[in-house]
Structure 1
Amino acid sequence: MSFYVSRLICQRIIIVCAFALAACSAFATELTVVTEELPPLNYEDHGVATGYSTELIEAVLREAKIKSTVNILPWARAYQMATTQPNTLIFSTTRNADREELFEWIGPISSRQIYLYKLKSRTDIEVKTVADSFHYKIGLVREMASAKTFLKNNNVPDTAIDYAPTAESNLKKLLVGRIDLIISLDWSAAYQMKKEKRNPNELEPMLVLDDKSSYYFALNKQSDPVLVRKIRKAFEKVKQSGLMDRLRNKYMH
Protein backbone atom coordinates (compact mmCIF):
# COMPACT_ATOMS: atom_id res chain seq x y z
CA MET A 1 0.00 0.00 0.00
CA SER A 2 1.44 3.35 -1.05
CA PHE A 3 1.96 6.24 1.35
CA TYR A 4 -0.64 8.32 -0.45
CA VAL A 5 -3.29 5.56 -0.26
CA SER A 6 -2.60 5.06 3.44
CA ARG A 7 -2.87 8.78 4.00
CA LEU A 8 -6.17 8.93 2.15
CA ILE A 9 -7.59 6.06 4.22
CA CYS A 10 -6.49 7.76 7.43
CA GLN A 11 -8.11 11.02 6.38
CA ARG A 12 -11.39 9.25 5.67
CA ILE A 13 -11.29 7.47 9.03
CA ILE A 14 -10.72 10.81 10.77
CA ILE A 15 -13.66 12.38 8.93
CA VAL A 16 -15.98 9.46 9.79
CA CYS A 17 -14.91 9.60 13.44
CA ALA A 18 -15.50 13.34 13.54
CA PHE A 19 -19.03 12.94 12.21
CA ALA A 20 -19.70 10.11 14.66
CA LEU A 21 -18.40 12.18 17.56
CA ALA A 22 -20.57 15.13 16.56
CA ALA A 23 -23.61 12.89 16.29
CA CYS A 24 -22.95 11.36 19.71
CA SER A 25 -22.42 14.78 21.20
CA ALA A 26 -25.75 16.03 19.84
CA PHE A 27 -27.52 12.87 20.99
CA ALA A 28 -25.99 13.18 24.44
CA THR A 29 -27.20 16.76 24.91
CA GLU A 30 -29.34 16.75 28.00
CA LEU A 31 -32.84 18.20 27.79
CA THR A 32 -34.66 19.56 30.83
CA VAL A 33 -38.45 19.51 30.53
CA VAL A 34 -40.56 21.61 32.91
CA THR A 35 -44.25 22.32 33.28
CA GLU A 36 -46.87 23.22 35.88
CA GLU A 37 -50.13 21.92 37.27
CA LEU A 38 -52.61 22.97 34.58
CA PRO A 39 -55.01 20.09 34.05
CA PRO A 40 -56.08 18.63 31.76
CA LEU A 41 -53.07 19.84 29.75
CA ASN A 42 -50.36 18.98 32.26
CA TYR A 43 -50.66 17.72 35.84
CA GLU A 44 -49.51 15.11 38.32
CA ASP A 45 -51.55 11.99 39.06
CA HIS A 46 -50.26 9.76 41.90
CA GLY A 47 -46.75 11.08 41.45
CA VAL A 48 -46.70 10.70 37.66
CA ALA A 49 -46.81 13.56 35.15
CA THR A 50 -49.72 13.17 32.76
CA GLY A 51 -52.24 15.15 30.69
CA TYR A 52 -52.81 16.08 27.07
CA SER A 53 -49.63 18.11 26.57
CA THR A 54 -47.53 15.78 28.72
CA GLU A 55 -48.43 12.72 26.67
CA LEU A 56 -47.82 14.72 23.51
CA ILE A 57 -44.30 15.85 24.46
CA GLU A 58 -43.43 12.35 25.63
CA ALA A 59 -44.45 11.01 22.21
CA VAL A 60 -42.39 13.71 20.49
CA LEU A 61 -39.29 12.92 22.56
CA ARG A 62 -39.68 9.19 21.88
CA GLU A 63 -39.85 9.95 18.16
CA ALA A 64 -36.74 12.16 18.47
CA LYS A 65 -34.98 9.47 20.57
CA ILE A 66 -34.37 11.97 23.37
CA LYS A 67 -34.58 10.80 26.97
CA SER A 68 -35.90 13.25 29.52
CA THR A 69 -38.28 13.45 32.48
CA VAL A 70 -41.15 15.90 32.81
CA ASN A 71 -40.74 17.98 35.97
CA ILE A 72 -43.86 19.61 37.43
CA LEU A 73 -43.02 22.85 39.24
CA PRO A 74 -44.71 26.09 40.26
CA TRP A 75 -45.09 28.11 37.08
CA ALA A 76 -42.86 30.99 38.18
CA ARG A 77 -39.96 28.61 38.87
CA ALA A 78 -40.49 26.62 35.66
CA TYR A 79 -40.61 29.82 33.61
CA GLN A 80 -37.45 31.17 35.27
CA MET A 81 -35.59 27.95 34.39
CA ALA A 82 -36.82 28.02 30.80
CA THR A 83 -35.75 31.62 30.23
CA THR A 84 -32.27 31.24 31.80
CA GLN A 85 -31.12 27.67 31.12
CA PRO A 86 -30.24 26.43 27.60
CA ASN A 87 -31.69 23.07 26.53
CA THR A 88 -34.77 23.61 28.69
CA LEU A 89 -38.25 23.03 27.26
CA ILE A 90 -41.39 24.41 28.91
CA PHE A 91 -45.07 23.71 28.23
CA SER A 92 -47.97 24.44 27.87
CA THR A 93 -46.82 27.94 26.95
CA THR A 94 -48.73 30.84 25.43
CA ARG A 95 -46.98 32.42 22.46
CA ASN A 96 -47.21 36.20 22.64
CA ALA A 97 -45.22 39.28 21.68
CA ASP A 98 -43.49 39.58 25.07
CA ARG A 99 -42.15 36.02 24.84
CA GLU A 100 -41.53 35.76 21.11
CA GLU A 101 -37.75 36.35 21.21
CA LEU A 102 -37.14 34.31 24.35
CA PHE A 103 -37.90 30.88 22.90
CA GLU A 104 -37.78 28.52 19.96
CA TRP A 105 -41.48 27.75 19.41
CA ILE A 106 -42.84 24.33 18.49
CA GLY A 107 -46.55 23.96 17.82
CA PRO A 108 -49.25 25.07 18.22
CA ILE A 109 -50.32 22.17 20.41
CA SER A 110 -53.81 23.36 21.45
CA SER A 111 -56.19 26.30 21.36
CA ARG A 112 -56.59 28.57 24.38
CA GLN A 113 -59.72 30.29 25.71
CA ILE A 114 -59.41 32.43 28.82
CA TYR A 115 -62.43 33.60 30.81
CA LEU A 116 -63.16 35.69 33.87
CA TYR A 117 -65.25 33.46 36.15
CA LYS A 118 -67.36 33.86 39.26
CA LEU A 119 -69.44 31.40 41.22
CA LYS A 120 -72.97 31.36 39.83
CA SER A 121 -74.26 31.56 43.39
CA ARG A 122 -72.60 34.96 43.86
CA THR A 123 -75.54 37.01 42.63
CA ASP A 124 -74.01 40.06 44.30
CA ILE A 125 -71.25 40.17 41.66
CA GLU A 126 -72.05 42.07 38.46
CA VAL A 127 -69.40 42.33 35.76
CA LYS A 128 -70.19 43.64 32.29
CA THR A 129 -66.81 45.22 31.53
CA VAL A 130 -63.24 44.59 32.66
CA ALA A 131 -63.37 47.80 34.69
CA ASP A 132 -66.32 46.38 36.65
CA SER A 133 -64.10 43.54 37.89
CA PHE A 134 -61.81 46.01 39.67
CA HIS A 135 -64.44 46.40 42.40
CA TYR A 136 -63.83 42.78 43.43
CA LYS A 137 -60.91 40.56 44.45
CA ILE A 138 -59.50 38.84 41.34
CA GLY A 139 -57.48 35.63 41.66
CA LEU A 140 -54.43 35.45 39.38
CA VAL A 141 -51.75 32.75 39.03
CA ARG A 142 -48.37 34.42 39.37
CA GLU A 143 -46.27 34.58 36.14
CA MET A 144 -49.00 32.92 34.08
CA ALA A 145 -49.46 34.51 30.66
CA SER A 146 -53.18 35.11 31.18
CA ALA A 147 -52.47 37.03 34.38
CA LYS A 148 -49.62 39.05 32.89
CA THR A 149 -51.67 39.95 29.81
CA PHE A 150 -54.63 40.97 31.97
CA LEU A 151 -52.43 43.26 34.06
CA LYS A 152 -50.62 44.67 31.04
CA ASN A 153 -53.78 45.51 29.11
CA ASN A 154 -55.70 46.97 32.02
CA ASN A 155 -54.97 49.48 34.75
CA VAL A 156 -55.82 47.04 37.54
CA PRO A 157 -55.58 48.49 41.05
CA ASP A 158 -53.36 46.52 43.45
CA THR A 159 -56.27 46.21 45.85
CA ALA A 160 -58.13 44.06 43.32
CA ILE A 161 -55.33 41.49 42.86
CA ASP A 162 -54.83 38.28 44.80
CA TYR A 163 -52.01 35.99 43.64
CA ALA A 164 -51.89 32.19 43.83
CA PRO A 165 -49.03 29.81 42.94
CA THR A 166 -51.22 27.36 40.98
CA ALA A 167 -54.55 27.19 39.15
CA GLU A 168 -55.73 24.64 41.71
CA SER A 169 -55.10 26.90 44.71
CA ASN A 170 -56.64 29.83 42.84
CA LEU A 171 -59.90 27.93 42.33
CA LYS A 172 -59.98 26.71 45.93
CA LYS A 173 -59.81 30.29 47.17
CA LEU A 174 -62.77 31.14 44.95
CA LEU A 175 -64.79 28.22 46.31
CA VAL A 176 -64.26 29.22 49.95
CA GLY A 177 -64.98 32.90 49.30
CA ARG A 178 -61.47 34.31 49.79
CA ILE A 179 -61.66 35.86 46.31
CA ASP A 180 -64.56 36.88 44.08
CA LEU A 181 -63.33 36.20 40.54
CA ILE A 182 -60.69 34.09 38.81
CA ILE A 183 -59.04 34.16 35.42
CA SER A 184 -58.79 30.66 33.99
CA LEU A 185 -58.50 28.49 30.93
CA ASP A 186 -61.91 26.93 30.30
CA TRP A 187 -60.60 23.33 30.26
CA SER A 188 -58.65 23.91 33.45
CA ALA A 189 -61.59 25.46 35.30
CA ALA A 190 -63.88 22.55 34.41
CA TYR A 191 -61.27 19.95 35.33
CA GLN A 192 -60.45 21.58 38.66
CA MET A 193 -64.13 21.77 39.60
CA LYS A 194 -64.56 18.05 38.93
CA LYS A 195 -61.42 17.35 40.96
CA GLU A 196 -62.99 19.20 43.88
CA LYS A 197 -66.12 17.07 43.36
CA ARG A 198 -68.05 20.15 42.29
CA ASN A 199 -70.19 20.68 39.20
CA PRO A 200 -68.42 22.85 36.57
CA ASN A 201 -71.79 24.53 35.98
CA GLU A 202 -71.36 26.20 39.37
CA LEU A 203 -68.93 28.51 37.57
CA GLU A 204 -70.28 31.34 35.45
CA PRO A 205 -68.08 32.90 32.74
CA MET A 206 -68.46 36.67 32.94
CA LEU A 207 -66.11 37.86 30.17
CA VAL A 208 -64.01 36.32 27.41
CA LEU A 209 -60.52 37.73 27.95
CA ASP A 210 -58.61 35.90 25.21
CA ASP A 211 -59.66 33.41 22.56
CA LYS A 212 -57.09 34.23 19.90
CA SER A 213 -53.93 32.63 21.36
CA SER A 214 -52.62 29.06 21.34
CA TYR A 215 -50.39 26.88 23.50
CA TYR A 216 -46.94 25.75 22.36
CA PHE A 217 -43.85 23.85 23.45
CA ALA A 218 -41.07 26.41 23.98
CA LEU A 219 -37.31 25.85 24.08
CA ASN A 220 -34.83 28.29 25.58
CA LYS A 221 -33.46 30.45 22.75
CA GLN A 222 -29.85 29.42 23.53
CA SER A 223 -30.58 25.71 23.20
CA ASP A 224 -28.48 23.42 20.99
CA PRO A 225 -29.72 23.97 17.39
CA VAL A 226 -29.37 20.25 16.67
CA LEU A 227 -31.65 19.48 19.62
CA VAL A 228 -34.21 22.05 18.47
CA ARG A 229 -34.27 20.64 14.93
CA LYS A 230 -34.73 17.08 16.19
CA ILE A 231 -37.66 18.04 18.41
CA ARG A 232 -39.26 20.18 15.70
CA LYS A 233 -38.97 17.37 13.14
CA ALA A 234 -40.34 14.80 15.61
CA PHE A 235 -43.28 17.06 16.46
CA GLU A 236 -44.29 17.33 12.80
CA LYS A 237 -44.17 13.56 12.45
CA VAL A 238 -46.26 12.99 15.61
CA LYS A 239 -48.72 15.67 14.46
CA GLN A 240 -49.26 13.81 11.19
CA SER A 241 -49.92 10.57 13.08
CA GLY A 242 -53.25 11.84 14.44
CA LEU A 243 -52.15 11.51 18.08
CA MET A 244 -53.18 15.08 18.93
CA ASP A 245 -56.82 14.38 18.02
CA ARG A 246 -56.79 11.16 20.04
CA LEU A 247 -55.39 12.96 23.08
CA ARG A 248 -57.98 15.74 22.78
CA ASN A 249 -60.72 13.13 22.87
CA LYS A 250 -59.09 11.49 25.89
CA TYR A 251 -58.56 14.59 28.02
CA MET A 252 -60.86 17.35 26.83
CA HIS A 253 -64.25 15.76 26.20
Structure 2
Amino acid sequence: MSALLKLLTATLFTCLSLAAHGEKLRIVTEPWAPYVYDDNGTMRGLDYETTVIVFQRLGVDVQWQFLPWKRCLAMLEQGHADGALDIFHSHERDALLLYPSEPLSEVEFVLFYANERPHPVQTLDELRGLTVGTSPGYLYGAEFSESNMFQREPAPSHEANFGKLLLGRIDLLVTDRRVGQHVIAALGLEGQVSQAPAVIRRQQQFLAVRRGAGMDLLVQRFAAELKRFKQEPAYAALSAKYGGIQSAAAPITLHEHTVEQQESSAR
Protein backbone atom coordinates (compact mmCIF):
# COMPACT_ATOMS: atom_id res chain seq x y z
CA MET A 1 0.00 0.00 0.00
CA SER A 2 1.41 3.40 -0.99
CA ALA A 3 2.17 6.02 1.65
CA LEU A 4 -0.55 8.30 0.24
CA LEU A 5 -3.15 5.53 0.35
CA LYS A 6 -2.18 4.69 3.93
CA LEU A 7 -2.57 8.36 4.85
CA LEU A 8 -5.98 8.65 3.24
CA THR A 9 -7.16 5.37 4.76
CA ALA A 10 -6.03 6.27 8.28
CA THR A 11 -7.62 9.70 8.05
CA LEU A 12 -10.85 8.16 6.77
CA PHE A 13 -10.88 5.72 9.69
CA THR A 14 -10.43 8.61 12.12
CA CYS A 15 -13.36 10.51 10.59
CA LEU A 16 -15.51 7.37 10.46
CA SER A 17 -14.69 6.62 14.08
CA LEU A 18 -15.94 10.03 15.14
CA ALA A 19 -19.05 9.67 13.00
CA ALA A 20 -19.78 6.17 14.26
CA HIS A 21 -19.95 7.45 17.83
CA GLY A 22 -22.02 10.46 16.80
CA GLU A 23 -19.12 12.69 17.79
CA LYS A 24 -17.63 15.83 16.39
CA LEU A 25 -14.09 17.11 16.67
CA ARG A 26 -14.25 19.37 19.74
CA ILE A 27 -12.31 22.60 19.15
CA VAL A 28 -11.95 25.27 21.83
CA THR A 29 -10.69 28.82 21.51
CA GLU A 30 -10.83 32.26 23.07
CA PRO A 31 -12.24 35.23 21.10
CA TRP A 32 -9.33 37.01 19.37
CA ALA A 33 -10.87 39.33 16.79
CA PRO A 34 -10.46 39.42 13.86
CA TYR A 35 -8.95 35.90 13.86
CA VAL A 36 -11.91 34.33 15.66
CA TYR A 37 -14.80 36.07 17.44
CA ASP A 38 -18.53 36.10 18.13
CA ASP A 39 -20.40 38.63 16.00
CA ASN A 40 -23.85 38.84 17.63
CA GLY A 41 -24.15 35.07 17.90
CA THR A 42 -22.34 34.24 14.65
CA MET A 43 -18.76 32.97 14.73
CA ARG A 44 -16.49 34.83 12.33
CA GLY A 45 -12.83 35.54 11.73
CA LEU A 46 -9.97 34.80 9.38
CA ASP A 47 -8.69 31.70 11.15
CA TYR A 48 -12.13 30.43 12.14
CA GLU A 49 -13.56 30.65 8.62
CA THR A 50 -10.38 29.19 7.12
CA THR A 51 -10.51 26.23 9.51
CA VAL A 52 -14.20 25.63 8.80
CA ILE A 53 -13.53 25.47 5.06
CA VAL A 54 -10.56 23.12 5.46
CA PHE A 55 -12.44 20.73 7.74
CA GLN A 56 -15.44 20.76 5.40
CA ARG A 57 -13.17 19.67 2.56
CA LEU A 58 -11.78 16.90 4.78
CA GLY A 59 -15.28 15.76 5.72
CA VAL A 60 -14.74 16.39 9.44
CA ASP A 61 -17.57 17.75 11.60
CA VAL A 62 -16.50 20.22 14.28
CA GLN A 63 -18.05 21.38 17.54
CA TRP A 64 -16.84 24.85 18.55
CA GLN A 65 -16.70 26.38 22.01
CA PHE A 66 -15.54 29.81 23.23
CA LEU A 67 -13.82 29.76 26.62
CA PRO A 68 -11.21 31.73 28.57
CA TRP A 69 -7.81 30.60 27.31
CA LYS A 70 -6.73 29.05 30.60
CA ARG A 71 -9.88 26.90 30.50
CA CYS A 72 -9.14 25.93 26.88
CA LEU A 73 -5.74 24.59 27.89
CA ALA A 74 -7.21 22.75 30.89
CA MET A 75 -9.80 21.04 28.68
CA LEU A 76 -7.03 19.88 26.32
CA GLU A 77 -4.99 18.51 29.21
CA GLN A 78 -8.01 16.74 30.69
CA GLY A 79 -9.10 15.27 27.36
CA HIS A 80 -12.36 17.22 27.26
CA ALA A 81 -11.37 18.95 24.00
CA ASP A 82 -9.72 17.57 20.86
CA GLY A 83 -7.98 20.72 19.73
CA ALA A 84 -7.46 24.46 20.07
CA LEU A 85 -7.66 27.22 17.49
CA ASP A 86 -5.03 29.97 17.29
CA ILE A 87 -2.46 28.53 19.63
CA PHE A 88 1.22 29.43 19.53
CA HIS A 89 3.68 26.58 19.22
CA SER A 90 5.38 25.67 22.49
CA HIS A 91 7.87 22.83 22.88
CA GLU A 92 6.47 22.32 26.37
CA ARG A 93 3.20 21.20 24.78
CA ASP A 94 4.71 18.83 22.22
CA ALA A 95 4.00 15.83 24.42
CA LEU A 96 0.29 16.72 24.43
CA LEU A 97 -0.40 18.43 21.11
CA LEU A 98 0.25 17.96 17.42
CA TYR A 99 0.81 21.01 15.23
CA PRO A 100 0.29 21.11 11.45
CA SER A 101 3.33 22.10 9.42
CA GLU A 102 1.27 24.97 7.95
CA PRO A 103 0.25 27.83 10.29
CA LEU A 104 -3.15 29.45 10.07
CA SER A 105 -1.87 33.00 10.41
CA GLU A 106 0.88 35.18 11.78
CA VAL A 107 0.51 37.58 14.68
CA GLU A 108 2.39 40.82 14.13
CA PHE A 109 2.84 42.95 17.26
CA VAL A 110 3.06 46.64 16.33
CA LEU A 111 2.67 50.04 17.99
CA PHE A 112 -0.19 52.52 17.59
CA TYR A 113 -0.19 56.23 18.47
CA ALA A 114 -2.75 59.06 18.58
CA ASN A 115 -2.44 61.41 15.61
CA GLU A 116 -2.68 64.41 17.94
CA ARG A 117 0.48 63.19 19.70
CA PRO A 118 2.43 61.37 16.96
CA HIS A 119 5.22 58.96 17.82
CA PRO A 120 6.07 57.15 14.55
CA VAL A 121 8.86 55.16 16.18
CA GLN A 122 11.05 52.80 14.20
CA THR A 123 13.34 51.51 16.96
CA LEU A 124 13.10 50.70 20.65
CA ASP A 125 15.48 53.58 21.41
CA GLU A 126 12.79 56.00 20.23
CA LEU A 127 10.53 54.81 23.05
CA ARG A 128 12.86 56.32 25.64
CA GLY A 129 10.87 58.18 28.33
CA LEU A 130 7.49 57.18 26.86
CA THR A 131 4.66 55.03 28.26
CA VAL A 132 3.38 52.10 26.20
CA GLY A 133 0.02 50.45 26.86
CA THR A 134 0.13 46.65 27.05
CA SER A 135 -2.29 43.77 27.66
CA PRO A 136 -2.00 41.66 30.84
CA GLY A 137 -0.57 38.20 30.22
CA TYR A 138 0.99 39.03 26.87
CA LEU A 139 4.73 38.74 26.32
CA TYR A 140 6.27 40.72 23.50
CA GLY A 141 9.86 39.48 23.73
CA ALA A 142 12.42 40.02 26.49
CA GLU A 143 14.06 43.09 24.93
CA PHE A 144 10.74 44.94 24.82
CA SER A 145 9.30 43.60 28.08
CA GLU A 146 12.43 44.10 30.18
CA SER A 147 13.65 47.43 28.80
CA ASN A 148 14.20 50.21 31.34
CA MET A 149 14.06 52.95 28.69
CA PHE A 150 10.27 53.24 28.73
CA GLN A 151 7.28 52.44 30.93
CA ARG A 152 4.71 49.71 30.29
CA GLU A 153 1.16 50.22 31.53
CA PRO A 154 -1.42 47.38 31.27
CA ALA A 155 -5.11 47.81 30.53
CA PRO A 156 -7.93 45.27 30.96
CA SER A 157 -8.87 45.27 27.26
CA HIS A 158 -7.73 46.46 23.85
CA GLU A 159 -10.62 48.96 23.82
CA ALA A 160 -9.46 50.38 27.16
CA ASN A 161 -5.93 50.79 25.81
CA PHE A 162 -7.17 52.76 22.81
CA GLY A 163 -9.27 54.93 25.12
CA LYS A 164 -6.22 55.71 27.25
CA LEU A 165 -4.28 56.50 24.09
CA LEU A 166 -6.82 59.09 22.94
CA LEU A 167 -6.92 60.64 26.42
CA GLY A 168 -3.15 61.01 26.44
CA ARG A 169 -2.70 58.69 29.43
CA ILE A 170 -0.27 56.59 27.38
CA ASP A 171 1.94 57.57 24.44
CA LEU A 172 1.56 54.38 22.37
CA LEU A 173 0.06 50.93 22.71
CA VAL A 174 1.24 47.56 21.48
CA THR A 175 -1.03 44.89 20.03
CA ASP A 176 -1.36 42.67 16.99
CA ARG A 177 -1.71 44.65 13.77
CA ARG A 178 -4.99 43.03 12.68
CA VAL A 179 -6.43 43.25 16.18
CA GLY A 180 -5.53 46.94 16.35
CA GLN A 181 -7.08 47.68 12.99
CA HIS A 182 -10.21 45.76 13.99
CA VAL A 183 -10.60 47.78 17.21
CA ILE A 184 -9.99 51.06 15.37
CA ALA A 185 -12.76 50.24 12.91
CA ALA A 186 -15.12 48.99 15.63
CA LEU A 187 -14.66 52.15 17.71
CA GLY A 188 -14.74 54.49 14.71
CA LEU A 189 -11.22 55.82 15.35
CA GLU A 190 -10.11 56.06 11.73
CA GLY A 191 -8.14 59.28 11.27
CA GLN A 192 -7.43 59.53 14.99
CA VAL A 193 -4.95 56.67 15.41
CA SER A 194 -2.02 55.53 13.25
CA GLN A 195 0.35 52.57 13.22
CA ALA A 196 4.04 53.20 13.82
CA PRO A 197 6.56 51.59 11.41
CA ALA A 198 8.20 49.42 14.08
CA VAL A 199 7.27 45.73 14.25
CA ILE A 200 7.99 44.34 17.71
CA ARG A 201 7.56 40.65 16.95
CA ARG A 202 5.94 38.12 14.64
CA GLN A 203 4.55 34.78 15.83
CA GLN A 204 2.66 32.03 14.00
CA GLN A 205 -0.73 30.69 15.12
CA PHE A 206 -1.91 27.12 14.59
CA LEU A 207 -4.83 24.74 14.88
CA ALA A 208 -3.38 22.09 17.22
CA VAL A 209 -4.97 18.79 18.26
CA ARG A 210 -4.42 16.34 21.10
CA ARG A 211 -2.25 13.36 20.32
CA GLY A 212 -4.33 10.25 19.66
CA ALA A 213 -5.13 7.49 17.21
CA GLY A 214 -5.11 8.84 13.68
CA MET A 215 -4.61 12.44 14.78
CA ASP A 216 -1.09 12.70 13.36
CA LEU A 217 -2.43 11.78 9.94
CA LEU A 218 -5.38 14.13 10.31
CA VAL A 219 -2.93 16.94 11.09
CA GLN A 220 -0.96 16.13 7.94
CA ARG A 221 -4.11 16.22 5.85
CA PHE A 222 -5.19 19.47 7.48
CA ALA A 223 -1.81 21.08 6.71
CA ALA A 224 -1.90 19.95 3.07
CA GLU A 225 -5.45 21.20 2.50
CA LEU A 226 -4.75 24.46 4.36
CA LYS A 227 -1.69 25.11 2.21
CA ARG A 228 -3.74 24.38 -0.91
CA PHE A 229 -6.56 26.71 0.18
CA LYS A 230 -4.10 29.54 0.85
CA GLN A 231 -3.18 29.52 -2.84
CA GLU A 232 -6.77 30.11 -3.92
CA PRO A 233 -8.48 33.46 -4.64
CA ALA A 234 -11.05 32.64 -1.96
CA TYR A 235 -8.36 32.78 0.74
CA ALA A 236 -6.94 36.04 -0.64
CA ALA A 237 -10.41 37.56 -0.43
CA LEU A 238 -10.87 36.26 3.11
CA SER A 239 -7.50 37.62 4.20
CA ALA A 240 -8.24 41.02 2.68
CA LYS A 241 -11.62 41.07 4.43
CA TYR A 242 -9.87 40.77 7.79
CA GLY A 243 -7.04 43.22 7.20
CA GLY A 244 -4.69 41.15 5.10
CA ILE A 245 -2.44 43.95 3.80
CA GLN A 246 0.95 43.18 5.30
CA SER A 247 3.12 46.00 6.57
CA ALA A 248 6.37 46.61 4.72
CA ALA A 249 8.33 47.22 7.91
CA ALA A 250 10.94 44.75 9.04
CA PRO A 251 10.72 43.66 12.67
CA ILE A 252 12.98 45.25 15.25
CA THR A 253 15.96 42.99 15.85
CA LEU A 254 15.18 41.15 19.09
CA HIS A 255 16.50 38.06 20.76
CA GLU A 256 14.73 34.82 19.85
CA HIS A 257 12.34 34.59 22.78
CA THR A 258 9.02 32.90 22.16
CA VAL A 259 6.15 35.36 22.24
CA GLU A 260 3.42 33.72 24.28
CA GLN A 261 0.43 34.87 26.21
CA GLN A 262 0.51 33.45 29.70
CA GLU A 263 -1.62 32.76 32.77
CA SER A 264 -5.32 33.36 31.98
CA SER A 265 -4.54 34.47 28.43
CA ALA A 266 -1.71 32.12 27.50
CA ARG A 267 -1.89 31.21 23.84
TM-score (norm 1): 0.69
Corresponding residue for residue 189 of structure 1? 180
Name the SS of the counterpart of 1:122 in structure 2: coil
Corresponding residue for residue 216 of structure 1? 206
Corresponding residue for residue 111 of structure 2? 116
Name the SS of the counterpart of 2:195 in structure 1: strand
Alpha-carbon distance in 2 for matches of 1:240, 1:60: 9
Q: 1:30 Cα deviation (Å)?
A: 4.9
> Given the alignment, which residue of 41, 47, 51 partners 1:47?
41
Q: What is the number of equivalent residue pairs in this alignment?
A: 226
CA deviations over 1:35-55 (Å, ceiling 9, x no partner): 233322212211111011110
Corresponding residue for residue 88 of structure 2? 94
Q: Mark the CA change 1:21 to 1:245 in structure 2 (over 3 Å): closer, same or farther.
A: closer
Q: Alignment identity in percent?
A: 19
Higher helix share goes to which structure? Answer: 1
Alpha-carbon distance in 2 for matches of 1:217, 1:93: 7
1:226 equivalenced with 2:223 (yes/no):
no
Q: 1:226 Cα deviation (Å)?
A: 1.5
Give ranges in structure 1 of 5+ residues lacking alignment: 1-19
Q: Mark the CA change 1:31 to 1:203 in structure 2 (over 3 Å): closer, same or farther.
A: same
Alpha-carbon distance in 2 for matches of 1:77, 1:140: 22
Contact 1:118 1:206 in 2 (8 A): no
TM-score (norm 2): 0.66
Contact 1:26 1:227 in 2 (8 A): no
> Given the alignment, which residue of 41, 46, 66 partners 1:72?
66
> Given the alignment, which residue of 127, 133, 136 partners 1:139?
133
RMSD across aligned positions (CA): 3.7
Q: Mark the CA change 1:182 to 1:74 in structure 2 (over 3 Å): closer, same or farther.
A: farther
> Given the alignment, which residue of 200, 225, 233 partners 1:237?
225
Alpha-carbon distance in 2 for matches of 1:178, 1:99: 38
1:246 equivalenced with 2:237 (yes/no):
yes
Alpha-carbon distance in 1 for matches of 2:70, 2:167: 24
Q: Mark the CA change 1:30 to 1:77 in structure 2 (over 3 Å): closer, same or farther.
A: same
Q: 1:159 Cα deviation (Å)?
A: 6.5
Contact 1:33 1:68 in 2 (8 A): yes
